[in-house]
């Protein structure tokens, strides 16, 4: 009897196939070879026929050279930290593609001399926030606070309310970040109540800055009091101390849907000397930290040696500029999605699924901002309710779909899902039905999946 393993295609033969030559160009020799070796082993183990090795190798190749996979966010969370927060707009993605090549990021083409790094992105930010005398960009909002604390208060004190000593995801604590700069924290007030007099008593000769932090991922209610930026800025001006305010969640101007969420323009207008915020939250751009404020302070921070270690690259600058100066972002569109339209989409999807024998129902839902923004605020939405077991199966779909399990059901919340992905959701559900659902014939399911899958997509 002939050993079937002798029929398994050799590695060099497979690598010479034109389709894998192209794959080597896209993904690199080592990655393609690793896939070949893995599939060959499956054939040796008898899990795959030798004739199917090449087909299996092609199917196992990744969608890109990077390990990241595109995911559909049907959780109802606009800014899901585990999913990379804000998705970039089409304009920002085009800008990223352009910036990935050779660009004039730090060159004045008219003179041939060195130019201001990211000057067009900085100009776009300045135009978006006229209340700011100057702007600067670092790699995230934590970096903005580190730079401010280092430049203004290293070896001195930072006055901050106890109610604003926040902890965010993965155990990250703001006090730990601030003291790492060599500054000492002077905590004032109580967790739930801080008065202007508390700040006044604490400011002294060692005070480098007063820090006002928006607790963007929680809310204290009941017997509470804090000091608004307008009143705190008056005290800081009297004492000659800079007031740094961390707005955090990325709003450059007021958002009527989120009236309790601070924005950069308002805080600058109320007298803050420097305001920091994130680029990848409600602004809807790439991860970065944005700094707006007085020219002398921004220049002091920009010229500090630490600024070099915290600067952003050309790709971030390009995406940021396109976000600020370009069309509405996916985050803005999700925030302002029309409830009636969402409900209509949910009813349409549920009806199409029921036509295929799936127990599906359109239901009202509530979405949240997420990403450390607008705590306690929910937005009316609509979802498709399925068997709760569908959620785990959908995570293994292609592309993976992240749903929400609530009240014993799997909810596909549509607020953050672009309408053009509805067919992909349908295909994902049909391909991953739990065994307990009423199924059409297996062959019909496969036909339905292929018909619903967008052109050019396939399962790996």
For the stretch 76-117, pLDDT in tens is 999 999 999 999 999 999 999 999 999 999 998 989 999 889
Give the lowest-confidence range in 41-50, 128-137, 210-219. 210-219
C-alpha count within 13 angstroms, C-beta hemisphere, residue 48: 18
Nearest by Cα to 96 from 311, 322, 332, 290: 322
- Which residues fall within 8 angstroms of residue 363, CB to CB, at 6 or more apart? 346, 382, 383, 384, 385, 411
Q: Is the peptide bond before 399 cis (omega within 30 degrees of 0)?
A: yes
Does 239 score more than 80 pLDDT?
Answer: yes
For 72-83+333-452, the fitting CATH number among 3.40.50.1400, 3.40.50.720, 3.90.1150.180, 3.40.50.670 is 3.90.1150.180
- Whole-number pLDDT of residue 381: 97
Residue-level pLDDT at 166: 84
Structure tokens at 256: 């009527």
pTM of the predicted model as reported, rounded to 2 decimal places: 0.83
DSSP string across 425-436: HHHHHHHT--TT
Residues whose CB is less than 8 angstroms from the CB of residue 273 and which lie 6 or more positions away in sequence, other chains included: 233, 236, 242, 243, 244, 293, 294, 297
Beta-bridge partners for 225: 193
Torsion angle of C-alpha atoms 133, 98, 281, 400, degrees rounded to 10:
180
Separation of first and last alpha carbons in the chain: 34
- Strand (E) or helix (H) holding 351: helix 339-355
- Confidence label for 236 from pLDDT (cuts 50, 70 and 90): very high
Alpha-carbon distances, residue 84 vs 67, 144, 234 (angstroms): 14, 19, 38
Query: Which distant-in-sequence residues (6+ apart) come within 8 Å of 133 by Cβ?
Result: 293, 294, 295, 298
The residue among 264 and 372 whose pLDDT is bigger is: 264
DSSP single-letter state for residue 215: -
> CB 258: neighbour CB atoms within 10 A?
18
Burial class (CB in 10 A: 0-12, 13-18, 19+), 283: buried
For residue 3, what pLDDT is reported?
A: 67
Lowest mean pLDDT among 29-43, 195-209, 302-316, 445-459: 445-459
* Sequence-ordered list of residues with C-beta below 8 angstroms from that of 316, at least 6 positions apart, any chain: 137, 139, 279, 286, 287, 288
Interhelix angle for 90-99 vs 314-325, to 10°?
150
The Cα–Cα gap between 327 and 406 comes to 34
CATH 1.10.3720.10 fits 90-326, yes or no: no
Please say whether the beta carbons of 353 and 384 come within 8 A: yes
**Closest by alpha carbon to 148, among 300, 265, 316, 308?**
300
pLDDT digit string, tens, across residues 323-363: 999 999 999 999 999 999 999 999 999 999 999 999 999 99
Alpha-carbon 218 to chain mean position: 19
Burial 404-427, CB ≥16 within 10 A → b, else e:
bebeebbbbbbbbbeeebbebbbb
**How many other C-beta atoms can be found within 10 angstroms of the C-beta atom of residue 448?**
19
Q: What average pLDDT is seen over the chain? A: 89
Residue 207's DSSP bridge partners are: 157
């Amino acid at each position: 009897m002939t050993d079937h393993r002798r029929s398994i295609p050799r590695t060099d033969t497979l690598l010479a196939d034109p389709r894998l030559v192209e794959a080597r160009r896209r993904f690199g020799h080592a990655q393609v070879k690793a896939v070949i070796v893995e599939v060959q082993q499956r054939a040796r183990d008898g899990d795959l026929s030798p004739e199917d090795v090449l087909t299996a190798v092609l199917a196992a190749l990744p969608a890109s050279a990077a390990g990241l996979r595109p995911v559909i966010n049907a959780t109802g969370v606009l800014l899901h930290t585990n999913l990379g927060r804000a998705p970039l707009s089409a304009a920002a993605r085009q800008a990223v593609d352009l910036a990935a090549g050779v660009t004039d990021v730090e060159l004045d083409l008219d003179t041939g001399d060195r130019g201001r790094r990211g000057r067009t992105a900085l100009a776009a930010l300045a135009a978006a926030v006229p209340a700011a005398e100057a702007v600067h960009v670092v790699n995230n909002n934590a970096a903005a606070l580190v730079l401010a604390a280092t430049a203004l208060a290293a070896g001195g004190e930072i006055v901050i309310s106890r109610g604003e000593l926040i902890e965010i995801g993965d155990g990250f604590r703001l006090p730990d970040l601030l003291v790492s700069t060599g500054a000492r924290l002077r905590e004032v007030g109580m967790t739930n109540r801080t008065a202007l007099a508390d700040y006044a008593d604490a400011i002294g000769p060692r005070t480098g800055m007063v820090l006002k932090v928006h607790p963007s991922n929680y809310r204290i209610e009941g017997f509470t009091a804090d000091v608004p930026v307008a009143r705190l800025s008056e005290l800081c001006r009297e004492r000659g101390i800079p007031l740094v305010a961390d707005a955090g969640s990325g709003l450059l101007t007021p958002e009527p849907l989120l009236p309790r969420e601070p924005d950069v323009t308002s805080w600058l207008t109320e007298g803050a000397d420097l305001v920091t915020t994130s680029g990848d939250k409600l602004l809807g751009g790439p991860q970065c930290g944005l700094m707006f404020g007085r020219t002398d302070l921004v220049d002091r921070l920009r010229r500090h040696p630490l600024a070099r270690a915290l600067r952003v690259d050309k790709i971030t600058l390009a995406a940021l500029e396109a976000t600020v100066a370009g069309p509405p972002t996916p985050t803005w569109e999700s925030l302002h999605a029309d409830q009636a339209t969402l409900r209509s989409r949910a009813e349409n999807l549920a009806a199409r699924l029921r036509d295929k024998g799936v127990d599906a129902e359109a239901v009202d839902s509530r979405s949240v901002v997420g990403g450390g923004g607008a705590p306690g605020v929910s937005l009316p939405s609509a979802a498709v309710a399925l068997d709760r077991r569908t959620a785990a199966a959908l995570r293994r779909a292609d592309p993976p779909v992240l749903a929400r399990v609530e009240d014993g059901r799997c909810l596909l919340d549509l607020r953050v899902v672009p309408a053009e992905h509805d067919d992909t959701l349908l295909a994902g559900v049909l391909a991953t039905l739990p065994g307990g659902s009423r199924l059409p014939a297996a062959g019909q399911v496969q036909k339905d999946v292929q018909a619903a899958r967008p052109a050019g997509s396939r399962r790996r």
